[in-house]
Chain A
Amino acid sequence: MDGALVVMEAEGAGPVPDTLKIVVAGGFGAGKTTLVSALSEVEALHTEEVMTSESVGVDDLEGVEGKTTTTVALDFGRITLDESTVVYLFGTPGQRRFSFMWEELVEGALGAVVLADTRRLADSFDAIDFFESRGVPFVVAVNCFDGHRTHRADDVRVALDLEERVPLLLCDARDRESVKEVVVELVSLVLRLELSGA
């Protein structure tokens, strides 16, 4: 990104890259870890955040009665575009009770991918609502577990009640080229927003 950014030089430790964060949300088993791994230059990294009821707020713990803490697993990947630019992809569970994690992840995020599983499309509603309400640019990637042929993007769009302006594409989370297309679609959306002054 020649001339586009100022690189902070850490004495003797090399340049400190600027970072872009992309959030990948989707229901259990939707293929988040698979998608992140497909593009990451290292095997998907794993970390956990432990939240206490104090920090989560009582409302958010509805549905997990008796628990005072909850652990959210995050898988993430790293893509070094050049020595001054690194993209991080964070995979996070797509259920509303994990929204405290989304709050943190969407802070400063470039945008989000909602990974929908054709067998459980309804699992994507929470994430879609959340990103819409926060004004986070997002695309919906439909992970076609049972093969692309059986699904038409238009049908999925109707089933998800998705507005026309939200990009939707079919993908195979295991396939690097397919995942690249998803990320390109998202960055293209952000570019369109930037150019339109939105």
Chain B
Amino acid sequence: MSAVPPGEEFPREWSFESSLIRPYSLTGGRTRPSRSDFSMTSQVVAVPSGAPPEVDPELELILSLCARPLSVAEVASRSGFPLGVTRILLADLLDQGYVMVHTSDWERNRPDAATLRAVLDRIREL
């Protein structure tokens, strides 16, 4: 945040509202993403050097957060966008080839016994 010259401060609500309305407006009124690849824990990662020269600041923010793999929930949390909006923007980025997404097989199939034992050991060591 850069400093605002005296007298030009906006009421708190204004900036808060606008920071929420902006990402909503990028969704173009859509309430659902163009695809359903994103579970809460799906890992999203920006395609290296895949970012276009000019992209909306909200999308740029998301791409910078995903320089390393990050879950959908973390992208929402760190960007401050509601989950639904985040999913829509991520789906757009995926459609355009700017991000990759990986949903763990463990979302479809329970991990096998060996994996569960290893998980237990690791948790006990925490």
Contacts and interface: CB of A to CB of B under 8 A. Distances in A.
A82 interface: yes
B73 A48 contact: no
A90 B68 CA distance: 21
Nearest to B83: A49
B22 to A, nearest CB: 15
B110 A19 contact: no
B99 to A, nearest CB: 10
A16 B106 contact: no
A13 B68 contact: yes
B111 A20 contact: yes
Contacts of A52: 31
Interface residues of A, number: 54
B122 interface: yes
B48 A11 contact: yes
Nearest to A45: B77
A5 B115 contact: yes
Interface in A11-36: 11-21
Contact of A1 (B100, B105, B108, B115): B115
A88 B82 contact: no
A105 B40 CA distance: 8
Given A10-B100, A13-B68, A18-B106, A78 B40 contact: no
A190 interface: yes
B123 A194 contact: no
B46 to A, nearest CB: 7
B107 A107 contact: yes
A150 interface: no
B76 A10 contact: no
B33 interface: no
A81 B104 CA distance: 15
Contact of B123 (A45, A48, A180, A195): A180
Interface of B: 31, 39-43, 45-46, 48, 67-69, 71, 73-74, 76-78, 82-84, 100, 102-108, 110-120, 122-124, 126
Interface of A: 1-2, 4-5, 8, 10-21, 39, 45-50, 52, 54-55, 74, 76, 78-79, 81-82, 85-88, 90, 104-105, 107-108, 110, 176, 180, 183-184, 187-188, 190-191, 193-195
8 contacts: A4-B112, A16-B69, A21-B40, A49-B83, A86-B41, A108-B41, A176-B126, A191-B116
